[in-house]
Structures are given as structure tokens and as C-alpha cells.
Amino acid sequence: MQKQKQTKENFGRKLQESSLNSQCKLETKALEQRVETLERELDAAITAAVHARSEKRQAEAGQRAAELRAQEATGELENTTKVFELHTWKSSEQSRRKSQKEIVILKS
């Protein structure tokens, strides 16, 4: 009887250990899956950050190019305005000289 009782106790302990091991394995597997998921999320976040930095650099380069084009256009516009003013002044000066010559001719 004693032996039978010990056998039952041993069986009970082994069953508990087995159950505990099984539960531990399940928890370990769940944790491993969670780690894998987190690693994939981290990889995705790193990839997104790299992509965002690349887009930012491209946007900054585009902005610099646009600012340079705006400066060039402004400079060209200023030059065109000055040339127009010069031509206008020259035309009015020629017209004034012509009028003065006509006045001199009419006076004589």
C-alpha cells in the first residue's frame, strides 16, 4: 500500500512537472512569437525612418533648387526692368532731341 501511495505521489509530481513544463513551453513560444513580431515592427520602423530621411533630403534639395531659380528669375526680371527703363529713357531722349531740332529749324 505504501508503495502504491508513493507511486501515486510520484505520478502526481511528474504530472505537475509535465503540466508546468508544457505551460512554460507555451509561454516561451508565445514570448518568442512576440519578440519576432516586435523585431519585424522595429525593422519596418527603421525602414520608414530611412525612407522619410531620404524624402526630406530630396525635398530640401528641391527647395534649394526652387529658391535658386527664384533668385535667377528675380535677377533677370531686375535686369529686364533696367534695360526697359534704359530703352524708355533713350527713346524719350531721342524724341526730346528731335523736338529740339525741330524747334531750332522752326525758329530759323
First to last CA, the chain: 158
Residue 85 has pLDDT above 90, yes or no: yes
Domain layout of the chain by residue ranges: 1-77
Percent over 70 (pLDDT), the chain: 92
Confidence bin at 4 (pLDDT 50/70/90):
low
For the stretch 62-79, pLDDT in tens is 999 999 999 999 999 999
pTM score, two decimals?
A: 0.54
Q: CA 32, CA 20: separation in Å to the nearest integer?
A: 18
pLDDT, residue 3, reads 66
pLDDT, residue 63, reads 98
- Length in residues, the chain: 108
Residue 8 has pLDDT above 70, yes or no: no
